[in-house]
Structure 1
Amino acid sequence: MVALIILPVIGLLALKPPAYWHPPADSQIPAGAKGQQIRYGRELIAHTAKYLGPKGSVRQLSNGMNCQNCHLDAGTKILGNNYSAVYSTYPKFRERSGSVETIVKRVSDCFERSLGGKAPDSASREMQAIVAYMQWLGMDVQKGQRPDGVGLAKLTYLDRAADSTKGRLVYVAKCQVCHGATGEGMKVAGAREYVYPPMWGPNSYNDGAGLYRLSGFAGYVKNNMPFGSNYTNPQLTDEESWDVAAFINSMPRPHKEQTADWPGIKNKPVDFPFGPYADQFNEKQHKFGPFQPIADARKVK
């Protein structure tokens, strides 16, 4: 009889989810000029195009997408590419640039890649506000730590290449209603920002963005798309997530010169789609997979 009571409890404990990070409450925003700066930073993340887009009221720097199109809920969503670990982990060395990067450098990269434009001046009111907001979000995270729920899910590699043909069917069934039949996104007439961002084409993220790598996009989709999904209620399977990522990233988009990226070619991610490589696998396999053979070959060396 005792065992009958204990076993279910053990099972419940095993199913207990991680203690995911949660953003600080608005009541913790300080008063005065610092608080105003943090609030402005959040506004810039949520409505980047309004201030810094093609018709921005401050400057015209970006492609019309908002930072929160990739960093959901103004960078606060669990497994939605949130900012919880930015302040705790930067400055840090990044293999992509082969250098130690500051928060300003990281934000600048997003403007040049995901937002397809130019970075705000490092001393500008806007850049300083964005950095202040990220610092505030991570104020309870210890230096050097990455809390549970940061970044994106790492999905298990498929035992095949991701299939853009299957992915198109997923896109039509689950994504097209918001992002459009031609990936053009959706705007309200006369608006300066998208309600739903473009998935490809001239106003979407360029091929230097993190989401252009399939593992990132698949993990992003799994816990966040279609709209209303989250890590407790995903709507797509892992296979569907990989395949729709393959479809979207097979479509045309702006190109960014990346010859200086990943100066240590042995450290290029298995799904970085541009050579040269330190292995025998071609660009097509590095873009669409299967990725496990690439990862296995690296373990042998």
Structure 2
Amino acid sequence: MKLNYLYTIYILLPVVTILCYSCVSGEENTTEVETEHLWRGWNKYNIPVTDTLTLYGRELIANTSYYLGPKGIVSQITNGMNCQNCHLEAGTIPWGNNYSAVSSTYPLLRGRSGTIETIPKRVNDCLQRSLNGEAIDSNSKEMRSIIAYFHWLGQGIPKEQRPRGSGLMEIPYLDRAADTIKGKNVFINNCQRCHGANGQGQKNPDSSGYIYPPLWGENSYTSAAGLFRLSRFAGFVKNNMPSGEVEYHNPQLSDEEAWDVAAFVNSQPRPSKIFQEDWPDISKKSIDHPFGPYADSFSETQHKYGPFTPIKNAKEAMAKKNADR
């Protein structure tokens, strides 16, 4: 019944969405011009009813916990969060951690693993790190469905290219360390009403998943997740939070507020997960990777909270020195 209901939505929503988008464009000509060539996953509404594999893939992204959560009907292997808690609207929002470039850029050489990664490897990374769960079989129906959905979203994007609006927007570094005390005030004023005073989130009425995900605590993303990097979290909240109220063109938070609230959230307790095989070449570590060892002399605290510009400058200087040898 759940999937049949979704099929009806897919038939009706294109009309609603086009009308809403036209209204917004008509009121804000600047926004219309700015978003003319910006990637948006409108084709998620056009998946044919007969393409059950792709439809199931979208359903798994949107309602991961229903299928794979603590009470999952397929398997019980994740923490209760949904993929779209971090990849907004099933990975289709501009700079909302979307999936637009997955099909066009994978297989991809990644510094964290030091290997050329496939889409199944990347999906399982998210399940293990962000959803604190277990990997699924790369040949399973679930994995094949998720891959089919990624390929559907990536239609028309040339290989090895990323459309404008893909992933997350990078915001400028602060000239200071991000401040957890200031960040707590930002959280109280802007985030607490949805995510709760203790960051516990809000569950669906049937407790099958989260309307607003937990930002810390035992059911949140782990210390190995991408959003545990401050730049990733700050870019995410700057352009997408508070949920339902903003997009990249009308943010409510300043850059400083985004960095500070990211610091506050990521200073809170959460599941710790360590992958010993990560970063075989430590010189490839991201500037804001919060765990050593490092190829430079900066502390773990500075790598986590900043200021990041001195680290960036030192890394660039070292790269230039090595290139000149």
Question: TM-score, normalised to structure 2's length?
Answer: 0.85
Please list every run of 5 or more consecutive structure 2 residues that lacks an aligned counterpart in the other structure. Answer: 1-28, 319-325
The alpha carbon displacement at 1:182 in A equals: 0.6
Distance in 2 of aligned mates of 1:164 and 1:273: 15
Alignment partner, residue 40 of structure 2: 22
Match of 2:246 in 1: 229
Structure with greater helix percent? 2
**256, 262, 269: which is aligned to 2:279?**
262
The answer to which of 51-60 and 185-194 deviates more is 185-194
Structure 2 partner of 1:197: 213
1:40 equivalent in alignment to 2:56: yes
From 53, 60, 69, the counterpart of 1:53: 69
Residues 1-301 of structure 1 mapped to structure 2, 5 A cutoff: 16-17=33-34, 19-25=37-43, 28-30=46-48, 32=50, 35-227=51-243, 228-301=245-318
Q: Alignment partner of 1:100: what SS?
A: strand
| Cα shift at 1:26 | 5.0
Q: TM-score, normalised by structure 1?
A: 0.92
**Which residue type is aligned with residue 39 of structure 2?**
W
Q: Contact 2:42–2:92 (CA<8 Å) still a contact in 1?
A: no
1:98-154 alpha-carbon deviations (Å, 9 max, x no partner)? 001000000000000011100221111111101100010001111111000001110
- Give SS of 2:191's match: helix
More deviation in 268-277 or 117-126? 117-126
Q: What amino acid is aligned across from residue 285 of structure 1 in structure 2?
A: Q
Give the number of equivalent residue pairs.
287
Listed one character per residue, the Cα deviations across residues 54-106 of structure 1 (whole Å, up to 9, x for unaligned) are: 00111001000000001000000010011000000000110000001000000
For the residue of structure 1 that corresponds to 2:34, the secondary structure is coil
C-alpha offsets along residues 245-264 of structure 1, whole Å, 9 cap, x if unaligned?
00000000001113321111
Tell me which amino acid in the other structure corresponds to 1:127.
Answer: M
Measure, in 2, the Cα distance between the counterparts of 1:248 and 1:36: 38
What residue identity is the alignment partner of 1:78?
P
Post-superposition shift, 1:46?
0.4
AA aligned to 2:215 is: M
1: CA distance, partners of 2:296 / 2:282: 9
Percent of residue pairs identical: 57
